[in-house]
């Protein structure tokens, strides 16, 4: 697939997806949704990709669904199928990808864009970033996994408040509520994200991927099931070259060199 609404680059183990419709704050058209979902699929298939970064071009991360497209298609536009065939592929593509995904939140994320930010594993934000659950401003309900993700992260009272007020949550508040891992001055965002991405891409990739799987699965498991599943995954991790390398490096008092195998 050729990409016209996103940029996709793979360098030194890091895939970067840049949402690239800056005139509309990178609002998602049907084409941009398909391209983003496709790029995430490529990230899963390509063994050379060991970390994924998602960011936005210009001053926004993404304003969510392009409302001009929705209006332009009139009654023919059916939201349920649009969500199922589109945004759900993106959210499941991020959460189901057994590689670390970093959201580099350069500016405002609204609507479905907040779901994409929260689906990522590590969220590094510019101090200019903000989150807006814009849905209720246009008479809709949160989608893109937000009813599942947000109450788990900040509790239902705060999540419901954000949904019904549609107020902007600033970067510092999002950091204080645990939605962002770090907030940095805007001019330092690229360097800080790069440092994170390089660190993740040169780490023990199978360990990172299985950890993501274990934590995601644990939401729907009993403690007994989670303990059992951890033991199963640990058997797998213990058979990797990176586990042997990590132990050897520790005993030899040197830095490990992980290959992701």
Residues annotated as catalytic are 88, 143
Strand partners, 103: 54, 123
CA distance 203 to 236: 17
Q: How far is CA 258 from the centre of its chain?
A: 24
Q: What six digits make up the tokens of 115? A: 């779901």
Of the listed pieces 61-69, 98-106, 171-179, 231-239, which binds ligand LHQ according to CB under 6 A? 61-69
Q: Tell me how far, at minimum, the Cβ of 108 lies from ligand LHQ, in Å.
A: 5
Start-to-end CA distance of the chain, whole Å, equals 29
Which 129-148 positions form the footprint of ligand LHQ (CB under 6 A)?
132, 134-135, 137-138, 140, 143
Binding pattern to ligand LHQ, positions 75-114, x when CB under 6 A? ----x--xx------------------------x-xxx--
Q: Tell me how far, at minimum, the Cβ of 186 lies from ligand LHQ, in Å.
A: 14
Q: Is 66 in the site for ligand LHQ (CB under 6 A)?
A: yes
Q: Tell me how far, at minimum, the Cβ of 140 lies from ligand LHQ, in Å.
A: 6
Task: Enumerate residues 6+ apart whose C-beta is below 8 A from 259.
Answer: 241, 242, 245
Q: Is 26 in the site for ligand LHQ (CB under 6 A)?
A: no
**One residue of 14, 17, 19, 27 binding ligand LHQ per CB under 6 A:** 27
**One residue of 24, 188, 192, 234 binding ligand LHQ per CB under 6 A:** 24
> Nearer to ligand LHQ by C-beta: 60 or 203?
60
Q: Are 43 and 49 in contact (CB under 8 A)?
A: yes
How many helices, marked H, and strands, marked E, lie in the chain?
12, 10
Q: Tell me how far, at minimum, the Cβ of 72 lies from ligand LHQ, in Å.
A: 10
CA distance 205 to 49: 10
> Nearer to ligand LHQ by C-beta: 73 or 261?
73
Q: How far is CA 168 from the centre of its chain?
A: 20
CA distance 9 to 52: 10
Q: Are 76 and 30 in contact (CB under 8 A)?
A: no
> Nearer to ligand LHQ by C-beta: 113 or 203?
113
Strand partners, 214: none
Q: Tell me how far, at minimum, the Cβ of 133 lies from ligand LHQ, in Å.
A: 8
**Residues in the site for ligand LHQ, rule: CB under 6 A?**
24-25, 27, 63-68, 70, 79, 82-83, 108, 110-112, 132, 134-135, 137-138, 140, 143
């Amino acid at each position: 697939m050729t990409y016209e609404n996103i940029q996709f680059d793979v360098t030194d183990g890091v895939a970067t997806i840049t949402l690239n419709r800056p005139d509309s704050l990178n609002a998602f058209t049907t084409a941009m949704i398909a391209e983003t979902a496709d790029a995430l699929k490529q990230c899963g298939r390509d063994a050379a990709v060991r970390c994924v970064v998602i960011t936005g071009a210009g001053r926004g991360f993404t304003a969510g669904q392009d409302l001009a497209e929705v209006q332009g298609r009139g009654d023919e536009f059916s939201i349920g199928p649009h969500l199922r065939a589109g945004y759900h592929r993106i959210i499941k593509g991020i959460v189901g990808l057994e590689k670390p995904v970093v959201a580099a939140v350069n500016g405002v994320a609204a609507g479905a864009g907040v779901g994409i930010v929260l689906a990522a594993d590590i969220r590094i934000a510019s101090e200019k970033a903000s989150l807006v659950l814009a849905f209720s401003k246009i008479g809709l309900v949160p989608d893109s996994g937000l009813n599942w993700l947000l109450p788990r992260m900040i509790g239902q009272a705060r999540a419901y408040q954000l949904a019904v007020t549609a107020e902007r949550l600033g970067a510092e508040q999002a950091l204080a509520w645990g939605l962002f891992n770090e907030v940095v001055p805007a001019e330092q965002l690229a360097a800080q994200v790069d440092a994170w991405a390089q660190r993740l891409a040169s780490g023990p990739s199978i360990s990172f991927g299985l950890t993501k799987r274990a934590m995601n699965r644990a939401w729907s498991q009993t403690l007994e099931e989670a303990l059992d599943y951890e033991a199963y995954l640990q058997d797998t991790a213990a058979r990797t070259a990176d586990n042997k390398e990590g132990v050897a490096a520790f005993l030899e008092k040197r830095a490990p060199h992980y290959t992701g195998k």
